[in-house]
Structure 1
């Protein structure tokens, strides 16, 4: 092969790879920005993020020492932030809300993590992991919500055992 063919081949490969590299870099920058926002929000509540997960529309962080959750939800127009002290939470559960699209067909509408507050007349706290009005199709939200439900319930169980001891 001659040098000209090699140079053209290398340029073509670089041009084909460039969109993937730029997209990946853009995604990492957005994730870093969201994580910084979540950490700053937690810091405002004298909390520190020790474990976190970031998605396209939400970010969730846990402070294991203070037993607190910080949650960021991005919609088309705004960013919603929630700080939850787990000492006020009884348990958590997954709410899978579906809507009917035909006679015998349903589709996922919302996927929420519902935190039930201690006390009879206090409303539950809802953390929205997926909303069909915002996202076209769910991604890894099912795995993520199951993971966080398990983490939160485990922390709450340990907290109750420590109180009993």
Structure 2
């Protein structure tokens, strides 16, 4: 009788734990694929990612030697990749857009080119219309704003 309860308990426990483990593996594999895609894009442009950070649906990286920022954002099955030559950038600015009662709706890192004819380049870290939950995007924006500012000096 006790053995039957123990076996039933173990089976029920496995039914809850196995899906969580599988989801963890899938998330880890997706992260690795996104990071590899960014690294491959950098290599195609004769750069090497020195430092990178993965956050929810994007990865940002920098080649400090060649002075490039690489940004890959994943929406469903589509990847958007941006490459920014920091040698052509005058300054950068973090932009936190709020609505309502201090509810964050967008987080962006803006790059202002040296050329006055060129438009600012926008890296979208978070958009409430695309993702309902704000995770580590704000901390990532703060960190990368500092990294870019240091690189521009």
In the superposition, the TM-score normalised over structure 2's length comes to 0.89
RMSD over aligned Cα atoms: 1.9
Aligned residues of 2:52 and 2:62 also touching (Cα < 8 A): yes
State the match for 1:18 in structure 2: 18
Shift of 1:121: 2.3
User: Which structure carries more relative contact order (alpha carbon 8 Å, separation 6+)?
Assistant: 2
Mean Cα displacement is larger for which, 111-120 or 126-135? 111-120
State the match for 2:64 in structure 1: 64
State the match for 1:50 in structure 2: 50
Mean Cα displacement is larger for which, 118-127 or 26-35? 118-127
Out of 136, 147, 151, the residue aligned to residue 151 of structure 1 is: 147
Per-residue Cα deviation, 1:141-163 (whole angstroms, up to 9, x for no partner): 11000000001111111xxxxxx
CA distance in 2, matches of 1:143, 1:129: 10
May I ask how many residue pairs the two structures share in their alignment? 153
Please identify runs of 4+ aligned residues in structure 1 that moved more than 4 A.
1-5
Shift of 1:77: 6.2
Per-residue Cα deviation, 1:86-115 (whole angstroms, up to 9, x for no partner): 11112211011223x4xxx35322110001
Shift of 1:9: 3.4
CA distance in 1, matches of 2:43, 2:141: 24
